[in-house]
Amino acid sequence: MTERTHFTLCLIFIGILCGFLSGNAIAASDNLLSNVRQAATDHIRELVAQPDRGSLEVNATALDNRLRISACQEPLQTSVPGNQSLTGNVTVLVSCPTSGWQVYVPVQVSLLLPRVVAAKPLARGAVITAADLQVSQVESRFQRSIVFESPEQVIGSTVKRNINMGEAVEGNDICLVCRNDSVIIKAGQSGLNIVTKGTALSDGSLGEEIRVQNTKSRRIIQARITAVGEVTVSY
């Protein structure tokens, strides 16, 4: 074997060795970044309770593999800096004090809850039927007012504004009792229940107080809406 051939073989060997070591370094870096993302995800899951009837989705954004971080010899430390809401886009700080590095990890948090949604487009003025509704998992941060979990809570109500298919039906979208509707007035005290009829003098949704005129006495009272076409007064 000539000296030139020997030199060429050495270069080839060194090249192969460098490629092998480089591959291992990239693999180790990817694994470390994966650990950082997992630490951020686990931290959010510790802070946000899993809903009984819904689901919690937590997804950390992929990190740039050009980040210069080394293996940590202790458990990674995690925190949510600032006064952040734990829904939507959340930034988690992951750090390794012994190695002196820290990384801000963007995390997408979605809390999905069962809500009554429109099974088809609902036009203003329509009276809602069972066929108009279904229950779906809805992102909680997009809910603006009173929401419903059971279709029975809104069947028979009137649509106040157009509702798109798949959109959650909220208290502001409907009136369980509309102005000039005939309503049942329930009143109770010490186990004694009185039921009479009246006329609503304004629109209202579940839990809201409206003015109602008693059909028999013509007296106007304040009553709380407790169901479709029903109000309750305490005295």
Give the pLDDT confidence score for residue 235 in this predicted structure.
67
Report which of residues 30 and 105 the model is more confident about.
105
- pLDDT confidence bin for 209, thresholds 50/70/90: very high
List of residues 6+ apart from 151 with CB closer than 8 A: 116, 130, 133, 134, 135
Q: Whole-structure pTM over 0.75, yes or no?
A: no
Judged against a pLDDT cut of 60, whether residue 73 lies above it is answered with: yes
Q: What is the pLDDT of residue 61?
A: 94
Fold (topology level) of 112-175: Type Iii Antifreeze Protein Isoform Hplc 12 (3.90.1210)
User: Which residue ranges make up each domain of the chain?
Assistant: 3-110, 112-175, 182-234
Give tens-digit pLDDT for 12-27: 333 433 443 333 333 3
pLDDT at 143: 75
CATH placement of domain 182-234: 2.30.30.760
Collapsed DSSP state (helix, strand, coil) of residue 83? coil
Q: 196 has which bridge partners?
A: 185
Q: What is the pLDDT of residues 92-138, one digit of tens each?
A: 999 999 999 999 999 999 999 999 999 999 999 999 999 999 999 99
- Most confidently modeled range among 27-31, 37-41, 70-74, 82-86: 37-41
> Measured between alpha carbons, how far is 102 from 39 in angstroms, rounded to an integer?
12
pLDDT tens for residues 162-201? 999 999 999 889 999 999 999 999 987 666 678 999 999 9
Average pLDDT, the chain: 85
Q: Quick one: which of 105, 98, 39 has its CA closest to 72?
A: 98
Residues 6+ apart with CB under 8 A from 5: none
**Confidence at residue 31, expressed as pLDDT on a 0 to 100 scale:** 87
Q: What does 28-73 look like in DSSP terms, one character per residue?
A: HHHHHHHHHHHHHHHHHHHHSPPPSSSEEEEEEPPPPTT------S
- pLDDT computed for residue 189 by the predictor: 67
pLDDT attached to residue 126: 95
